[in-house]
Amino acid sequence: MDCPYCGYHDSKVIDSRNVNEGIRRRRQCLSCSSRFTTYERLQPTNLFVIKKDERREEFNQHKLLTGIRKACEKRPLPSDTVDRLADDIEAELYHLGKAEIPSAVIGDMVMARLKSLDYIAYIRFASVYREFTDITALKQEVDTLLSADAEAPQPAGQLPLLPDNRLKKLAKNRRKSRQ
Ligand SMILES: [Zn+2]
């Protein structure tokens, strides 16, 4: 840092100490010998979300949590599950080490986790996030879930969407209609 008195570009550190998660340095100008103080602090990395309309918005953990909570409202999920899910996603986002992340990436992360957790919450989240414009698109998504659920073992801990016998019947009908 340039000397505030004479503008000279170099100084020596005559004292340094840790203060409030930063470092305070007492410096002396190598030209005019004036003394001044600088502080060095770690700048937390800001994460920005690129929205669909290309606007950038600082990542907001609270907003993420609110969205997931809304989708999971009144679902029989353990209370800390939702918080942990949001924490996981946040950690993963920072782990990517990028300064900007498209909102679609975050949405997909939430959907992938909700899908393995609870189909109702998943569909609720997807209907907001993917902005299903008509009931057909929504029905297609539900159909896909139902057939995947009936034909493959359920993910561990998944809450059943329909009673077992209904699911089997649905899968049977779908298989028939495909033949
Ligand atoms: Zn100076």
The reply to whether 124 falls in a domain is no
37 and 56 in one domain? Answer: no
Q: Which of 86, 113, 140 is the last residue of a domain?
A: 113
Q: What is the pLDDT of residue 4?
A: 93
Number of domains in the chain: 3
pLDDT of residue 174: 58
Task: Tell me if 6 is assigned to some domain.
Answer: no
Say which DSSP state 152 is in: S
Statement to judge: residues 60 and 79 lie in one domain? yes
Measured in angstroms, how far is the CA atom of residue 38 from the centroid of ligand 1?
A: 14
CA of 82 to the centre of ligand 1 (A): 56
Residue 154 inside a domain? The answer is yes
Q: 151 pLDDT band (50/70/90 cuts)?
A: low
What is the whole-number distance in angstroms between the Cα of residue 66 and the centre of ligand 1? 53
Instruction: Determine phi and psi for 48, rounding to 5 degrees.
Output: -110, 145
Q: DSSP assignment, residue 144?
A: H
The partner residues of 159 in beta bridges, in order of sequence, read 118
pLDDT recorded at residue 148: 76
Cα 34 to ligand 1 centroid, rounded to whole Å: 5
Distance (Å, whole) CA 113 – CA 148:
16
The rounded percent of the chain whose pLDDT value lies above 90 is 32
Cα(21) to ligand 1 centroid in Å equals 28
- 37 lies in the same domain as 48: no
Does the pLDDT value for residue 70 go beyond 70?
yes
- pLDDT band at residue 164, thresholds of 50, 70 and 90? low
What are the residues whose beta carbon lies below 5 Å from ligand 1 (ion)?
A: 3, 5-6, 8, 29, 31-32, 34
Q: How far is the CA of 5 from the centre of ligand 1 (A)?
A: 5
Domain region containing 17: 11-41
- Top-confidence residue, 127 or 105: 105
Are both 53 and 34 inside the same structural domain?
Answer: no
Full-model pTM: 0.57
**Same-domain status, 85 and 70:** yes
* Range picked from 32-36, 98-102, 130-134 for highest mean pLDDT: 32-36
Q: Which of 57, 78, 113 is the last residue of a domain?
A: 113
CA atoms within 13 Å, Cβ hemisphere of 173 = 8
Based on the fold, state whether residues 49 and 30 are members of the same structural domain.
no
Q: Amino acid letter at 45?
A: T
